[in-house]
Copies of this chain bind each other. A is one copy, B any other.
Amino acid sequence: MLNRRKTKILEAIVSDYIASAEPIGSRTIAKRYDLGVSSATIRNEMSDLEDMGYILQPHSSSGRVPSDKGYRLYVDRVMPKKPLNKDHREYLKRAIAMDVNRIDQMMRDVARAVSHVTSYTAVAAEPLVRRHKIQHIQLVPVDDYAMAMMLITDLKAVKNQMVIVHQAPNHGVAGRMSVELTNLFKGASADDLCELFTGMARHRFAEIGFDVRLVSPLMDAVYAALASADNVQVYTSGMKNILDFPEFADLGKARAVVGTLEEKESLLTLLADNSEQITVIIGGENENTMLRDCSVIKAKIRINEHFSGNIAIIGPTRMDYSQVMTVLGAIVKNLTLSEIDR
């Protein structure tokens, strides 16, 4: 572990670099921070820090820049925790629709507000419903060959799915079918669905006199409603902010990031996270090579006792980790007015 002075110097380099995007020299540190030693001493310490891999020199006569390892140490041990800025707290409170019944709107608002407050890019995804338990299934015939299925889960998520069949039943039959399906599937999750359920459904349909050929498309629809990625919304906000950072003046880099942020699949991979903690991924730690010049800070966000979505902030490696973690912390903890208030 580093001694106190080296730690101070690393902190100075990281925080100055975050603010200025310019390599930091020994004299700058000597002047700006009151370490009680001369620039020459700081130079010696910096040389050590470089040997240890915490900082880098872009070229032999320039100042130092933090390495991924340096940022990592900074984030894990050195970084001071910032309190949540009062204006930001107010802004977040006002900007986020606190209507738990419009999860989609809420997630969109969260992404928007967080990207606005941090001036990075925010990505948020609705909660997955894979694990939710089926509470109610409702079928409504749409025309001769299609039924609309509405599926409600124990956690109040509502999903639609079109069911295409060779011959749709009439309203009355569809209604009774809804009751039967609800009885059969109530309490099951997408992960529970298997041949057993199909068999049960087929048996019951035959028993009552429903068309057994409907079972297979219905099962598929139930599964799709709960497990299809198409049924998950991902909200991105503040992509243009990326273009403000000098590190992305290189259009190739900007392209890589914008391309990644455009793909729902890569965003879902990025967001996937079950940790209860706020997770920080720094530069090269990203599995997605397109994000090698970015850092990602992500968290599971709890909306109420039932729902939790995911949010990630994406910015340059040189991002204000402390601020972002503070903002996410406030939101993660609990998305209620009173909690953001504290």
Interface residues of A in 142-167 (CB under 8 A from B): 142-143, 146, 148, 150, 152, 156, 158, 160, 162, 164
How far is it, in angstroms, between the C-alpha of A156 and the C-alpha of B243 when the chains are bound?
41
How far is it, in angstroms, between the C-alpha of A100 and the C-alpha of B300 when the chains are bound?
35
The answer to whether A243 touches B262, judged by C-beta atoms less than 8 angstroms apart, is no
How far is it, in angstroms, between the C-alpha of A201 and the C-alpha of B258 when the chains are bound?
50
Which residues of chain B come closer than 8 Å to A240, judged between CB atoms? 255, 258-259, 262
The 0/1 profile, CB within 8 Å of B marked 1, for residues 157-199 of chain A is: 0101010100000000001000000000000000000000000
Which of the four size classes fits the interface of chain A? 35 or more
Judge whether A140 is part of the interface by a CB distance below 8 angstroms: yes
Assess A255 versus B244: contact at CB under 8 Å? Given A142-B158, A148-B152, A158-B162: yes
Assess A140 versus B150: contact at CB under 8 Å? Given A230-B105, A239-B239, A243-B254: yes
Nearest chain B CB to A293 CB, angstrom units: 15
The 0/1 profile, CB within 8 Å of B marked 1, for residues 235-271 of chain A is: 0111110011000010100110011001000000000
How far is it, in angstroms, between the C-alpha of A243 and the C-alpha of B249 when the chains are bound?
11
Which residues of chain B come closer than 8 Å to A162, judged between CB atoms? 101-102, 158
The 0/1 profile, CB within 8 Å of B marked 1, for residues 120-158 of chain A is: 000000000000000110101011001010101000101
How far is it, in angstroms, between the C-alpha of A240 and the C-alpha of B255 when the chains are bound?
5
The answer to whether A262 touches B237, judged by C-beta atoms less than 8 angstroms apart, is yes
Chain B residue with Cβ nearest A135: B142
How far is it, in angstroms, between the C-alpha of A243 and the C-alpha of B242 when the chains are bound?
13
How far is it, in angstroms, between the C-alpha of A199 and the C-alpha of B105 when the chains are bound?
30
The answer to whether B156 touches A142, judged by C-beta atoms less than 8 angstroms apart, is yes
Which residues of chain B come closer than 8 Å to A104, judged between CB atoms? 230
The 0/1 profile, CB within 8 Å of B marked 1, for residues 83-111 of chain A is: 00000000000000000011011000000
Which residues of chain B come closer than 8 Å to A249, judged between CB atoms? 251
Nearest chain B CB to A158 CB, angstrom units: 5
Chain B residue with Cβ nearest A139: B138
How far is it, in angstroms, between the C-alpha of A185 and the C-alpha of B227 when the chains are bound?
33
The answer to whether A239 touches B258, judged by C-beta atoms less than 8 angstroms apart, is yes
The answer to whether B160 touches A152, judged by C-beta atoms less than 8 angstroms apart, is no
Nearest chain B CB to A104 CB, angstrom units: 8
How far is it, in angstroms, between the C-alpha of A244 and the C-alpha of B254 when the chains are bound?
10
How far is it, in angstroms, between the C-alpha of A136 and the C-alpha of B171 when the chains are bound?
10
Which residues of chain B come closer than 8 Å to A258, judged between CB atoms? 239-240, 243, 258
Chain B residue with Cβ nearest A161: B158
Chain B residue with Cβ nearest A174: B138
Chain B residue with Cβ nearest A248: B251
Q: Pick the contact of A152 from B140, B236, B244, B254 — CB < 8 Å?
A: B140
Q: 21 interchain pairs (CB within 8 A)?
A: A101-B146, A101-B162, A101-B164, A135-B142, A136-B142, A138-B138, A138-B150, A140-B150, A142-B152, A142-B156, A146-B156, A158-B160, A158-B162, A175-B175, A240-B255, A243-B254, A243-B255, A243-B258, A244-B251, A249-B251, A254-B254
5 further A-B pairs in the complex, CB-CB below 8 A; given A239-B239, A243-B258: A138-B150, A142-B156, A237-B262, A243-B254, A244-B251
Closest 5 CB pairs of A and B: A240-B259, A240-B258, A101-B162, A150-B150, A148-B158
